[in-house]
Structure 1
Amino acid sequence: MLSFIKRVLIGQPLKSTALGEQKLNKTKALAILSSDALSSVAYGPEQILLVLVTIGAAAFWYSVPIGVGILILLLALVLSYRQVIYAYPHGGGAYVVSKENLGVNAGLLAGGALLVDYILTVAVSISAGTDAITSAFPSLHPYNVLIACGLVVLITILNLRGLTESASILAYPVYLFVLAMFILIVVGLYQIAVGHVPPHLHEPLGTPVSGLTLFLLLKAFASGSSALTGVEAISNAIPNFKDPAPKNAAKTLAAMGLLLALLFSGIVWLAYYYGISPKAEETVVSQIASATFGRNLLYYVIQGITAMILVLAANTGYSAFPQLAVNLAKDKYIARMFTVRGDRLGYSNGILFLAVASILLIIVFKGRTEHLIPLYAVGVFIPFTLAQTGMLVKWFRERPPGWGIKLTINAVGALISFTVMMIFFITKFPQVWPALIFLPGIVFFFHKINKHYMDVGDQLRITTCEPSVPVEGNVMVIPVAGITHVVENTLNYAKSLHPEQIIAVYVAFEKEAEKQFEERWNQWHPEIRLVTLFSQYRSIIQPLTKFVDTVEHKAMESNYKVTVLIPQFIPKKRWHNALHNQSSFLIRAFLLYRRDLIVTTVPYHLKK
């Protein structure tokens, strides 16, 4: 039944030879890898206004110069990451760049920050999409968290079906969103040009504003910079592109940067000219669409498409997180399970981990986008800074042809990224201080995992491990709970191996039961030694492990190995397991971690 549900939801398994078919062309890559950055125009301008509104509507005109500053930052990042793509065509982005040029710790800091950022990408995108839905249908506000969690499950299933399939589905809403935003911007600008929008709705550019400080302007700039999250995703996912991968990735990055610049600047200008003020119950884009078209069919179409793209923007995280996790896992800094491809050739363990972590964040933060965005933006500007600094070191060290121009581009990118990162930490410290704790913690955790893998490799390597002690014989211990076919099956298996000795062990809770079992055993298998143990505290594990310790100690004197054979019957139907005591599992769990002991389960399958 579970297998059938899995096949319906995810699809039939794909052969490994079909991996090449899962590569993306530029059109699909733009949809699947740029959806996060493009969708941020739905909440990036709003974050600027949320800061400026604390001074008053008169300060809204500052959103225009702040928007220009963000566009300059976008240009620097696009040019910088274009160089990362060509310098590191195998992907990895900020993690690989930082590790190779700034050292392991810098690389792990960048990698850890990006992993957290991609989790936040999903949480923020889904939460923002839910906000767009509830803006159009206010009665759904109380169910924000529930709706968001359901959307995470939906997009997780979509990604488990495979990269090209999810990209094919994603392409339509992404391009519909771009088209809808351009229609909204063009119609809005037309209405402004023909005088349908009264000029008194906004303050003229340059109007003096009392109480406005540099600190507040920097805070607004940092908040608006959240629109640039997702720019680095393409450099992390170069292996997902069709050949020539670096060239296709660079073109996709340029297209994303151009679209993002046009949409962001258009929304910022319309919000300023319309005198839009941020509201808790309605997004800025919803207010612009309502002012431009009224609450008609076109308004609801734009809101629906916006909600869809905000939800599907989470797919950037689903595409980049597993690929980055693979790079970290190959370097032995996170679990190797992240390198395993699922039935549909995607890295399903990374996808599932991302989904669970995102749902937890949505629940903890109650789906409030504004609470998630500061951490979200910090998580991406740290890798931005490290990646550009790493490229500076690379160009200065290698000095290839034209290295001066390349160094200048990355120097500007590093300087701006570092400035924005520091602005975030200074202006939003109460919201982003957890990053100062969990990011070093993640790096420490990476090192502990790496040490474990190094230790395991050192102990398993034939050339370095201790020489094996020859085994002279075998003693088999069989825990028995009664005289049954299950025990008989295990005894027959033990006899077939011709060990030096077979010992059956019975743990009794009552003296009378102990005596009766000994009598029945001597009639059934008198040739096999039976040891009965009385447990006054009704525990099977404690007396059994003590006995095994005694046998093991004596066996070591003769270079014998002790094998514990655990009889276990397997019910015909899985749900029947819940009706039986799982004592065999408990025994195995306790004994497996004992040194120099072999534990084997001998199954007996029931037919009814």
Structure 2
Amino acid sequence: MVSALKRFLIGRPLKSTELGEQKLTKKKALAILSSDALSSVAYGPEQILIVLFTVGTAAFWYSVPIAIGVLVLLIALILSYRQIIFAYPRGGGAYVVSKNNLGMNSGLIAGGSLLVDYILTVAVSVSAGTDALTSAFPALHVHAVAIAVFFVLLITVLNLRGIRESATILAYPVYLFVAALFILIGAGLYNVFTGQVPAELHAAVGTPVAGISLFILLKAFASGCSALTGVEAISNAIPNFKEPAPNNAAKTLMAMGSLLAILFSGIVFLAFYYGIAPNAQETVVSQMAEGIFGRNFIYYFIQGTTALILILAANTGYSAFPLLAVNLAKDKFIPRMFTIRGDRLGFSNGILILGFLSILLIVAFKGKTERLIPLYAIGVFIPFTLAQTGMIVKWFREKPKGWMPKLIINSLGALISFVVVMMFLLTKFTQVWPILIFLPLIILLFHRIHKHYMDVAEQLRVSAAEPTVPIKGNIIIIPVASITRVVENALNYAKSLSANQIIAVSVCFDKEEEKKLEEKWEKWNPDVRLVTLNSLHRSIVHPLTKFIDMIEHKATDQNYQIMVLIPEFIPKKGWHHILHNQSSLLIRTHLLYRRNVCVATIPYHLQK
């Protein structure tokens, strides 16, 4: 039944030879890898207005020069990541660039930041999408967290079905969203240029504003930079592209940058011109669409596609997180399970972990987008800064032909990204301080995992200088409770191993019970020694362990191997397990960590 449900949700297993068919075309890649960046125009401009609103609506004209600053940074980042794509065509993005040029710790800071960022990508995107949905249908506000969790589960299942299939499904909402915003911006600009928008709705550019300060402007700029999250995703996911992967990735990146610049500029300009103020119950895009079209079909089309892309923007995290995890796992900084492909050739462990952690975040923050965005944005700009700095070091070290313009681009990107990080720390410290705790802890965890893998490799390495001492033979210990076919099956198997000695051990709670078992055993199987242990405290594991300790001490001196064979019957139906005690499981779990004891289970399958 479980297998049938899995096949229904995920689909048939794919052969390894079908991996090439799972690669993405430019159109599908633009949809699946750019959805995070494109969707951020639905809340990036709003974050600027939220900061300026603390001074008053007259300050909204500052959103225009702030938006120009954000566009300058966008251009620098797009050109920089285009260079990274060709310099590191195997993917890995900021992690690989930082590791190769700035050292392992810098790479781990970038990698750790991005792992957290992709978790936040899912949480923020789905929360923002839920906000858009509840703006159109206010009655759903009380169910926001449950709705967000449902969407995370849905996107997780889609990605488990494979990247090509999820891209095919998700491409339509992304392109519908782009079309919807072009309609919104086009209609809004038409109204502006035909004089249908009253001038009194907004303050003129350059109007003096009481209370405005450099601190507030920097805070607004840092908030607006949240619209650039997701720009790096394409450079992390180059292996997902059809060949020639670097060329296709670079073209997709340029297309994404162009669309992002147009949509972001249009939303900021119209929000200023229409004098739209941020509202906790309704998003800026919703107010803008209602102001231009009213609550008609086009309004609901815009809100519907906005909600869809905000929710599906989480897919960028699902595309990039597993590939980044693979790079970290190959370098032995996170568990090796992240390198394993699932039935549909995707890195399913990474997908499942991402979905689980995102749900935890949504529940912990109660789906409040504005509380997640600052952490989300600074988690992006730390890798941005490290990646650009790493490229500067690369150009200085290698000095390839035409390296000077590339150096200038990366230097500009590094400088602005660093300034944004500092702005977040200075202006939003109360919201972003957790990253100063979590990031060092993540790096420490990376190093502990890496040390474990190195220790394991050292201990498993075969060395001619340390010849192994041959084992003379086995002493087999079989825990028994009574005389049954299960015990008989285990004894027969033990005899087939040519053991030097077989000892059956029974832990009894009652002297009379102990005596009866000894008498029955003597008649049933006198060739095998039975040792009975009395347990006054009704413990099976403790007396058995003490006996094994005694035998092990003698066996080690003579270079014999102790083997514990645990008889266990297996019920025909899985639920029958709960009807029986789990003595064999307790014994096995306790003995698995014994250094010189081999533990094996001898199953006896019941027929009914």
TM range (shorter): over 0.9
User: What's 1:460 paired with?
Assistant: 460
Superimposed CA distance per residue, residues 443-484 of structure 1 (whole angstroms, 9 cap, x where no aligned partner): 111111111111111111112784322111110000011111
User: What's 2:581 paired with?
Assistant: 581
8 Å contact kept, 1:378–1:424 = yes
8 Å contact kept, 1:563–1:599 = yes
Q: Separation in 1 of the partners of 2:412 and 2:483?
A: 80
User: What's 2:330 paired with?
Assistant: 330
User: What's 1:85 paired with?
Assistant: 85
Amino acid at match of 2:274: Y
User: What's 1:410 paired with?
Assistant: 410
User: What's 1:64 paired with?
Assistant: 64
Q: How does 1:305-324 map to 2 (within 5 A)?
A: 305-324=305-324
User: What's 2:391 paired with?
Assistant: 391
Q: Separation in 1 of the partners of 2:576 and 2:286?
A: 54
8 Å contact kept, 1:97–1:387 = yes
Q: Name the SS for the 2:306 alignment partner.
A: helix
8 Å contact kept, 1:145–1:362 = yes
User: What's 2:3 paired with?
Assistant: 3
8 Å contact kept, 1:108–1:443 = yes
Q: Name the SS for the 1:601 alignment partner.
A: strand
User: What's 2:39 paired with?
Assistant: 39
User: What's 1:73 paired with?
Assistant: 73
Please state how far the C-alpha of 1:437 moved relative to its aligned partner: 1.1
Q: Separation in 2 of the partners of 1:258 and 1:451?
A: 44
Superimposed CA distance per residue, residues 545-580 of structure 1 (whole angstroms, 9 cap, x where no aligned partner): 111111111111211111000001111111111211
User: What's 1:449 paired with?
Assistant: 449
8 Å contact kept, 1:381–1:421 = yes
Q: Name the SS for the 2:307 alignment partner.
A: helix
Q: How does 1:338-417 map to 2 (within 5 A)?
A: 338-417=338-417
- Is 1:607 aligned to residue 607 of structure 2? yes
Q: For this pair of structures, how many residues does the alignment match?
A: 608
User: What's 1:282 paired with?
Assistant: 282
8 Å contact kept, 1:458–1:465 = no
User: What's 1:301 paired with?
Assistant: 301
Q: Separation in 2 of the partners of 1:481 and 1:503?
A: 13
8 Å contact kept, 1:99–1:108 = yes
Q: Separation in 2 of the partners of 1:463 and 1:477?
A: 32
8 Å contact kept, 1:459–1:465 = no
User: What's 1:500 paired with?
Assistant: 500
Q: Separation in 2 of the partners of 1:179 and 1:465?
A: 70
Q: Name the SS for the 2:503 alignment partner.
A: strand
Please state how far the C-alpha of 1:211 moved relative to its aligned partner: 0.6
Q: Name the SS for the 1:212 alignment partner.
A: coil
User: What's 1:101 paired with?
Assistant: 101
Q: Name the SS for the 1:210 alignment partner.
A: coil
User: What's 2:133 paired with?
Assistant: 133
Q: Separation in 2 of the partners of 1:583 and 1:19?
A: 45
Q: Separation in 2 of the partners of 1:107 and 1:192?
A: 48
Q: Separation in 1 of the partners of 2:517 and 2:277?
A: 83
Superimposed CA distance per residue, residues 326-349 of structure 1 (whole angstroms, 9 cap, x where no aligned partner): 000011111000000000000000
User: What's 1:266 paired with?
Assistant: 266
Amino acid at match of 1:304: G
Amino acid at match of 1:56: G
Q: Separation in 1 of the partners of 2:327 and 2:68?
A: 36
Q: How does 1:498-577 map to 2 (within 5 A)?
A: 498-577=498-577
User: What's 1:214 paired with?
Assistant: 214
Amino acid at match of 1:14: L
Amino acid at match of 1:147: I
Ranges in structure 1 where 5+ consecutive residues have no aligned partner? none
Please state how far the C-alpha of 1:175 moved relative to its aligned partner: 0.4
TM (norm. structure 1) is: 0.99
Q: Separation in 2 of the partners of 1:81 and 1:301?
A: 33
- Is 1:422 aligned to residue 425 of structure 2? no
Please state how far the C-alpha of 1:207 moved relative to its aligned partner: 0.7
Q: Separation in 2 of the partners of 1:170 and 1:465?
A: 58
User: What's 1:164 paired with?
Assistant: 164
Superimposed CA distance per residue, residues 478-530 of structure 1 (whole angstroms, 9 cap, x where no aligned partner): 00111111111001101111211111111111222112211221121121111
- In structure 2, the CA distance between the partners of 1:342 and 1:275, relative to structure 1 (3 Å rule), is same
User: What's 1:235 paired with?
Assistant: 235
Amino acid at match of 1:246: P
Identity across matched positions, percent: 72
Q: Separation in 2 of the partners of 1:465 and 1:456?
A: 18
Q: Name the SS for the 1:154 alignment partner.
A: helix
Q: Separation in 2 of the partners of 1:192 and 1:495?
A: 92
8 Å contact kept, 1:458–1:464 = no
Q: Separation in 2 of the partners of 1:285 and 1:268?
A: 10
Q: Separation in 1 of the partners of 2:474 and 2:341?
A: 40
Q: Name the SS for the 2:263 alignment partner.
A: helix
Q: Separation in 2 of the partners of 1:579 and 1:180?
A: 59
8 Å contact kept, 1:42–1:285 = yes
Q: Separation in 2 of the partners of 1:288 and 1:449?
A: 50
Amino acid at match of 1:491: L
Superimposed CA distance per residue, residues 89-135 of structure 1 (whole angstroms, 9 cap, x where no aligned partner): 11000000000000000000000000000000000000000101111
- Is 1:470 aligned to residue 481 of structure 2? no
User: What's 2:21 paired with?
Assistant: 21
TM (norm. structure 2) is: 0.99
Q: Separation in 2 of the partners of 1:49 and 1:350?
A: 36
Ranges in structure 2 where 5+ consecutive residues have no aligned partner? none
Q: Separation in 1 of the partners of 2:528 and 2:54?
A: 85
Superimposed CA distance per residue, residues 175-199 of structure 1 (whole angstroms, 9 cap, x where no aligned partner): 0000000000000111112222211
Q: Separation in 1 of the partners of 2:579 and 2:214?
A: 69
8 Å contact kept, 1:479–1:506 = yes
Q: Name the SS for the 2:468 alignment partner.
A: coil
Superimposed CA distance per residue, residues 398-440 of structure 1 (whole angstroms, 9 cap, x where no aligned partner): 0000111111110001000000111011100011111111111
